[in-house]
Structure 1
């Protein structure tokens, strides 16, 4: 009798996961992020409950998308490097959550155009898309100039934009703080990480310069709470 009940529950759970895969993955990611970091969130209500929107954030580490995507109350589509997307171990997960791979024109002519087309289609379907306008991980912990692709997306699809500041992940093994990301080993556990979503900018008012300034301001505010990185401490065993 007990085994029959357990089997029934397992079938129900499997069916629920199959119907809502992104929601389940997001919940699991959020739980994992909460276990690994002491996460402070602010401004989650700035992400609209319905309709298309763009979330733009500074890019600190390879964990950024997981932290932001897990924290969001809505599923986020996000752009990511194609070599990482094609990872044989993780491609199934990236496909499940709807990641959009992008490769440089030098390696794959036309790929950027196709990626931007997929972003446009997602926005027109009423989804939320997240991107890192710097186009790469920060090499020094600072925010670098936003690239032109952001303007191309907004010119094609003027949607509300949520500037976002992330702090606390610089110095982790998934950042470039101590050499190439992922080349070392984890040195911190339960670090303080702050993720601040700013007020939505209406369609047509979000310029590249304005968004870069707002993200810088939000990161500076997040820095006040997030754990400072002390190089000497990082070298301790």
Structure 2
């Protein structure tokens, strides 16, 4: 009876905590889940500032990327995501809880991109950390593709520090496009080696698309050495 009372008390305390401060609690739960599902190597998380606005940019490999990066960050992150996924009847409550920012193509919803950028600007001006994938889509081949101009539009409006990141190990997973459209088949592996490397902050004045793309490529190459050693060795053979 005492044990049940303790469990109920803990459940009520957790519910109260989530109601008052949902994002930090959700971040901790996501981090624990990511650690359970993947063998995660994390480097450079200290580069995310403890206070103040910042932008995190990373390559985009799978639909799990935002959860891996958000869970690894020492601060809750706002992040841009495709509106069709945001509107998922099963997960929309979670995306709203963590403050995700949905974005849709102009062809499907004229004015949506402008509204999404306004929300990013509002979050940055309130001192939050926002994460985005400058490629604008999941990689179709595992490689990093050209960064889009939306990154520079954001920084022109709100010149905040930028933290680049490189993610490796999720290409080939069920949530990537490696074996056809993401999440169209069955999960193929569990406890995969995943590496996430954050880099030093870039002042906004030096944060052009080209500079940040090169830095993300370099960080991903570093992460590849741990997450995908066999692939790296094959590339290095004469």
Cα pair distance change 1:193/1:10, threshold 3 Å: closer
Aligned residue in 2 for 1:14:
15
Cα pair distance change 1:60/1:10, threshold 3 Å: closer
1:78-97, aligned counterparts within 5 Å?
Answer: 78-97=79-98
1:62-81, aligned counterparts within 5 Å?
Answer: 62-81=63-82
Aligned residue in 2 for 1:142:
143
Deviation at 1:178, TM superposition (A): 0.6
1:147-166, aligned counterparts within 5 Å?
Answer: 147-166=148-167
How far apart, in 1, do the equivalents of 2:108 and 2:17 lie? Answer: 40
Deviation at 1:18, TM superposition (A): 1.2
Aligned residue in 1 for 2:234:
none
1:57-136, aligned counterparts within 5 Å?
Answer: 57-136=58-137
* Deviation string, structure 1 residues 163-215 (Cα, Å, up to 9, x no partner): 10000000001000010100011111111000000000012111110000000
Cα pair distance change 1:105/1:4, threshold 3 Å: same
How far apart, in 2, do the equivalents of 1:61 and 1:203 lie? Answer: 27
Q: TM-score, normalised by structure 2?
A: 0.93
- DSSP-derived class of the 1:116 partner: helix
Aligned residue in 2 for 1:212:
213
- Give structure 2 stretches of 5+ with no counterpart: 232-238
Q: Given the alignment of the two structures, is residue 188 of structure 1 paired with residue 171 of structure 2, yes or no?
A: no
- Give structure 1 stretches of 5+ with no counterpart: 231-237
Cα pair distance change 1:4/1:221, threshold 3 Å: closer
Aligned residue in 1 for 2:236:
none
* Deviation string, structure 1 residues 78-97 (Cα, Å, up to 9, x no partner): 00000000000000000000
* Deviation string, structure 1 residues 137-165 (Cα, Å, up to 9, x no partner): 00000000000000000000000000100
How far apart, in 2, do the equivalents of 1:81 and 1:229 lie? Answer: 33
- DSSP-derived class of the 2:205 partner: coil
Deviation at 1:13, TM superposition (A): 2.6
- Using the TM superposition, name which of 203-212 and 127-136 deviates more: 203-212
Aligned residue in 1 for 2:235:
none
More helix by share: 2
Aligned residue in 2 for 1:233:
none
Cα pair distance change 1:52/1:178, threshold 3 Å: same
Deviation at 1:105, TM superposition (A): 0.2
CA contact (8 A) 1:170 1:229 kept: no
CA contact (8 A) 1:173 1:184 kept: yes
- Using the TM superposition, name which of 21-30 and 63-72 deviates more: 21-30
Cα pair distance change 1:6/1:33, threshold 3 Å: closer
